[in-house]
Amino acid sequence: MKAFLLYKDRDFHPDARWSANDSALHKDLDLGRLISAMAAGDDYVADVAQLVLRAPLTAVEDIEYRQHVLMDVLENTAVVRDLYALASETIAAERKIYRSLFSHSPSSILRQSIQSLEMMAAVLERLRSICRNAQEGFHSPGFRRFLDMVLKEVDETYLAEINEHLRRLRFRNGMLIAASLGRANKGTNYTLSNPGPDNRNWLQRLSGKGKESYTFRLNDRDEAGFRALGELEGQGLDLAANVLTQSDDHIMNFIKMLRQELAFHVGCINLEAALLSAGAPLCFPKPEAESAMACSARDLRDVSLTVGQRGEVVGNNINADGKSLIMITGANEGGKSTFLRSLGTAQLMMQCGMFVCAQYFGADLVSGIYSHYKREEDASLKSGKLDEELVRMSAIADTAKAHAMVLFNESFSSTNEREGTAIARDIIRALVDSGMRVVFVTHFYELGEDVDALHTSGPCS
C-alpha cells in the first residue's frame, strides 16, 4: 500500500545530508520561524517540514499535484488531523509492544507479532471507517486515489481473514507440527501444519474424547525435556514467525509513511491558521516552466516576519516577468532585506507545493535557490571578511546550475564601494549569462545605476 500524498508516483524519501547551502538558506530566509509556525509544538511535524523545504520540486505537474492535495487538506482539516493522530498513536503503541520483547526465540517473536497485528487490524478498521466517511469531501486526484486504495485493499474480507489467521495462531487447541526423518532418524523439515476441521460428533466433543494418537507426557521436573520440546517448537514456528513479522513490518511501514506525508500537510494547516490570524493574504501560486522567465507578485509579504510579529506587515508588488536580474536599492531600514527574504521564501514555498503569503504570486521554476548574505564579524575567521565572502561565492558557483536563483544581500560591502562594485558586476554578469536569476540588494550607488551594463543577452529590472 502506498499513500502518494506528496508525489504522484513515489514515496517521500528525504535526503538526510545537510549541505552548506541548506544551512545558509535556512538562516538567511529565517526558515526557523516558518517551520516553528508549521510545527505548532509538534517536533515530528517540524522535522518533516524541514526535510520537505530542503527538497523543492522542479516540475510544474508535480507542484500542481501537491497543490491540489493541499487544497483538499485545507478543506478537510478535521479528517486530516484524525488520520495523522491515528498514525501517530499506532507508531507509539507499536514501540511499547516491541520494547517488551526480551527473548528472540521464534515463539516469543510470534507472540509479539500476533499482538502487534491484532492492534494493526483494529487500526486498519478505524482507517477504513475514516476514509469511508470522508469520501465526499475530497476531490484531488492524490487524495481520491488514497481513499479508493484504502477502501479497496482494506475491505471487510481482508480484515476478517487477518483476524481468522491470528485466532488460529493463538493455538488455543494445541499446535500441530509435521517433520521428516533425516539421517540417523533425526527430525528434519519441521513445519507448522493446519490441524484441519474438527470432525468429531457432538457426543465425542461432549465426552472430551479426541482423535487416536500416540502421546507422551513430560514430568513437571524434566527441565531437559522441556528445553528439547521448546527447541522442536521453535523449529516448527520459525517460518510462521518470520512471515508474520514481515506482514507486521509491511503494514507498519505504510503507517509510518502515511504519518510522514500527513505531517507536512498538518504543518500547512497550522501555518495557514497562523497567517490568517495575523490578517495576511494567502494564495496558491502559479508555477511556470523554466523558459517562461516569469516573476510577479501582488501584496507579497515575508512569512517569518508575519508569523513573528503582532502588527500588520506591509506587502510589496513586483513585476519582473522576462527579467533575469532584479536590483534592489534604497535607504537603510527601508525593507530591502525583508523584500528579498519574502521573494526567496515565496519561491521556495511554491516549489514545495505550498500556498504563499500574497494576494498573487507567479514565477518560473528554478533549479535551486542559493543565498549570499553579508555576515557579521566573526572572531573565529582565519581570513578577512572579503575573503570569506569570495569563498562562499566560489562554493555557490561550483554547485549552481542554469535556471538557479541566487539571492544577494549587501554582498561584497566589506570592501570599499569601487572595489565591491567591480567584484559584484563581474559575478552578476557571469551568473546572468549562465541563465540564472539574480536578485541583488545593495547600497552601492554605482552598482545600482549600472543595471543595463550588467546583462549582455537580455533585460534587467
Cα separation, 321 vs 447, whole angstroms = 22
Do 241 and 137 belong to one domain?
yes
Number of structural domains in the chain: 2
Residues 317 and 393 in one domain: yes
> Is residue 437 assigned to a domain?
yes
Domain presence at residue 267: yes
What 3-state class would DSSP assign to 330?
coil
The phi, psi pair for 151, rounded to 5°, reads -70, -30
Residue 408 cell numbers, joined: 544577494
Question: Based on the domain organization, do 270 and 350 belong to the same domain?
Answer: no
| Residues 251 and 225 reside in one and the same domain | yes
**Per-residue tens of pLDDT for the chain, all 461 residues:** 889 999 999 889 877 677 888 899 999 999 999 999 999 999 999 999 999 999 999 999 999 999 999 999 999 999 999 999 999 999 998 888 765 555 566 666 677 777 778 888 889 999 999 999 999 999 999 999 999 999 998 888 878 887 776 677 676 666 666 777 778 777 777 676 666 665 666 666 666 555 666 676 767 776 776 566 666 665 655 666 666 677 778 888 999 999 999 999 999 999 999 999 999 999 999 999 988 889 999 999 999 999 987 667 889 999 999 999 999 887 777 789 999 999 999 999 999 999 999 999 999 999 999 999 987 765 555 667 888 889 999 999 999 999 999 999 988 888 888 898 889 999 999 999 999 999 999 888 778 776 655 554 344 44
Q: Are 224 and 230 in contact (CB under 8 A)?
A: no
The DSSP bridge partners found for residue 288 are: 364
Tell me if 343 is assigned to some domain: yes
Give the range of the structural domain holding residue 162, as residue numbers without chain letter: 57-173+187-195+219-277
Residues 85 and 163 in one domain: yes
Closest CA to 283 of 275, 292, 293, 291: 275
- Tell whether 251 and 371 lie within a shared domain: no
Q: 292 and 159, same structural domain?
A: no
Residues 106, 171: Cα–Cα separation, whole Å: 14
- 18/34 Cα distance (integer angstroms): 18
Domain match, 108 and 251 both: yes
Residue 346 has what pLDDT? 97
277, 312, 343 — which closes off a domain? 277
Q: Check residue 449 and give its pLDDT.
A: 72
- Write down which residue in 277, 300, 321 finishes a domain: 277
Q: How far is CA 425 from CA 298, 343, 438, in A?
A: 29, 22, 12
SS3 198: coil
Taken in order 100, 105, 108, 113, the sign of the CA dihedral is positive
- Structure-block grid coordinates of residue 219: 514430568
**What single-letter DSSP state applies at residue 102?**
-
* Alpha-carbon span 298 to 316, nearest angstrom: 6
For residue 211, what pLDDT is reported? 62
Helix (H) and strand (E) counts in the chain: 15, 10
- Site of grid cell 519582473: 320
Amino acid at 111: R
Q: Tell me the C-alpha distance between 49 and 44, whole Å.
A: 9
Q: State residue 7's pLDDT score.
A: 94
Grid cell digits, residue 459: 533585460
Does residue 461 lie within any of the structural domains? Answer: no
Residues 5 and 80: beta-carbon distance below 8 Å: no
Maximal C-alpha separation, the chain: 108
Asked if residue 146 and residue 124 are part of one domain, the reply reads yes
Q: Give the Cα separation of 374 and 408 in Å (integer).
A: 8
d(CA 351, CA 285): 9
CATH number (domain holding residue 293): 3.40.50.300
- Helix (H) / strand (E) element for 371: namely strand 369-373
In a domain, 344, yes or no: yes
pLDDT of residue 290: 84
Nearest-CA neighbor of 448 among 410, 414, 396, 405? 410
In a domain, 244, yes or no: yes
Output the pLDDT for position 457: 39
Q: Domain check: are 225 and 120 in the same one?
A: yes
pLDDT of residue 460: 44
62 occurs within a structural domain: yes
| Residue 441 covered by a domain | yes
Do 337 and 422 have their domain in common? yes
Q: Are residues 323 and 224 in the same domain?
A: no
In 3-state terms, what secondary structure has residue 307?
A: helix
Which of 277, 310, 344 is the last residue before a domain boundary?
Answer: 277
